[in-house]
Chain A
């Protein structure tokens, strides 16, 4: 592989790219995590980012581009400090998700000009800037309507709670997700999606131990416990 150095991606990021490649029997498998890595630096996949992946994986820019444009999570334009994704798939939409999305479009947009899909309120990359998008089913339908900030879950939302959330984000606060680690920013989330987690054991443990035990998640098990319902006992000869 050729040595690559440039101004956007420093030596550490190049080292990380190599580490990603080492996880796979064939180097090309590293492309998706590497595109997440690129986004952890720039907040989107730029031309430099495409070239970076291409050089590390011995692919042409066109080959990398064809992949990057296929996937929703790779953004072509610079994003805000935070990415706010509102589920507007049918179940969430019927439970209030469409109304939440429209409300946020208005709230984050200008007078008479609601913010569009994947558009940013504020200057991309600046503190308090927010990119808004509508998302497909986020596998949290029992907690509908849901939204995510930087892919951490905010469950059972209302128009009001969603507006309060974005107001807080714009003030520079980081309200805790319902399920997830303490909130950081989109770029930090992308670094984790590339497979790089905090080196510091305590910090990582704090992230990992962020809440997940929603009432809805535990409902069946809790009901069974309350009623004394159990699965048939396992017999000794097997146990």
Chain B
């Protein structure tokens, strides 16, 4: 168990420096020192280091990064690609965009090291299109890195070549799913692919490809500099390291707090100044809308991959959305469901049809026109989506509904009661819509 401080700025530390996005500032703050070390070692040694550190993917699923890298072929018969997932669109998630705005060179340095470790010479950063300032900072940083010899041919005299292309998406949450992202990057509709083959076997242009999240890759230079033991001084045995917790909603001081994995909501709330105006907590998500919601019962759940799962949710993206007593759960669930309905790519029937019906039923209930059977209908439709959809978007879509009904069934029932008595006034946010 970690004895680290409550906040452990690693990735977020440079953010406080004026003009932290510039190469000159980055270089003054140990920037591009890790890449020099990495390029002097054999690629396999970097993969082994990242494995030893136990770095787990920060994009939501928590797959061990070193293990994923080791799936890439050792030979270079085909070109290898590294693709950075900067599509950040999971509701509540807001860590990668500020990271890339504040410290784009940490991502670029991580890309050089990771690409070297996986014998790739072309890296794509797929950024969601709606964040122009972030895209601009990335372009500027890539330009600076080329000019300084950190990108391009024979990087720092090592003989290693790498090109980075910054690619702007065009507004589609599903493109965050790694195989949909690859289709989108190939200029197609962003729809998931059947796995296997996994990207390491046949990814971008059917060539060996690794897709990693921004925060995952930006962590790599620190592991190279600090070593795996240092990294493990933060976090828990199976979920080591620091993690950016993005706290939003009804707290006094929302924001980005980088703390060891395993930190609890109770501790995070303390950092964030407690609940806004002292209004009590009602529900929250540990890692975005696709992770089943928690309640005040879960204040002491350790927020690492194991802890969140044992308590019936998932760590996801550590997007901690906090809602107080004034918010109606059925309304919040309806809003999220409308999101999934809008973002369903339409490829498979359970998700395409299911999210449509779920949204209809929830809208009717929130309007006060629901019946008790609607609750069963919702759960029934969820049952037909969960585990039966082509990709994890479908599974994510049912999370708010099943967890919402699990913890707040009374509130759903009350909406039906209102229907019975035709008194639809309620003080809860959205319930009056």
Residues on A facing B (Cβ under 8 Å): 23-26, 28-33, 35-36, 57, 66-67, 70-74, 85, 88-91, 93-95, 98, 135-144, 148, 150-153, 177, 179-181, 189, 192-195, 197, 204, 207-210, 212-225, 227, 229-232, 234-235, 237-239
Contacts and interface: CB of A to CB of B under 8 A. Distances in A.
A223 B257 contact: yes
A33 B91 contact: no
Question: What are the 9 closest A-B residue pairs judged by CB atoms, nearest first?
Answer: A219-B255, A72-B171, A220-B257, A31-B187, A71-B170, A229-B5, A28-B187, A141-B248, A73-B171
29 contacts: A23-B165, A26-B205, A29-B185, A33-B167, A67-B188, A72-B170, A73-B171, A85-B130, A89-B336, A94-B430, A139-B130, A140-B97, A141-B248, A143-B254, A151-B132, A193-B132, A204-B140, A208-B140, A212-B102, A214-B98, A216-B253, A218-B15, A220-B245, A220-B257, A221-B15, A230-B9, A234-B225, A234-B227, A235-B229
Contacts, number: 271
Nearest to B328: A94
A195 B166 contact: yes
Contacts of A29: 167, 185-187
B212 interface: no
Contacts of B190: 70-71
B113 interface: no
B234 A219 contact: no
B230 A221 contact: no
A190 to B, nearest CB: 9
Nearest to B6: A229
Given A209-B19, A217-B255, 11 more contacts: A31-B187, A70-B189, A72-B170, A138-B131, A139-B128, A139-B131, A144-B249, A219-B257, A220-B9, A229-B9, A234-B226
B7 A229 contact: yes
B287 to A, nearest CB: 13
Q: Which of A91, A150, A225 has the most CB of B within 10 A?
A: A91
Contact of B102 (A66, A94, A217): A217
Contacts of B9: 220-221, 224-225, 229-231
A101 B5 CA distance: 41
A66 B345 CA distance: 13
Q: Which of A26, A70, A71, A180 has the most CB of B within 10 A?
A: A70
Interface residues of B: mostly helix, strand, loop or mixed? mixed
Interface of B: 4-10, 12-13, 15-16, 19-21, 79, 88-94, 96-98, 101-102, 122, 128-133, 135-137, 139-140, 165-173, 184-190, 205, 225-227, 229-230, 233-234, 242, 244-250, 253-259, 271-272, 289, 319, 321, 323, 327, 332, 335-336, 339, 342-343, 345, 429-430, 433
Contacts of A67: 187-189
A194 B256 CA distance: 30
B289 A141 contact: no
A193 B167 CA distance: 8
Contacts of B173: 136
Contacts of A98: 430, 433
Given A25-B79, A139-B128, A35 B170 contact: yes
Contacts of A224: 5, 7-9
Nearest to B165: A23
Nearest to A198: B136
B139 A89 contact: no
A148 to B, nearest CB: 7
B47 to A, nearest CB: 17
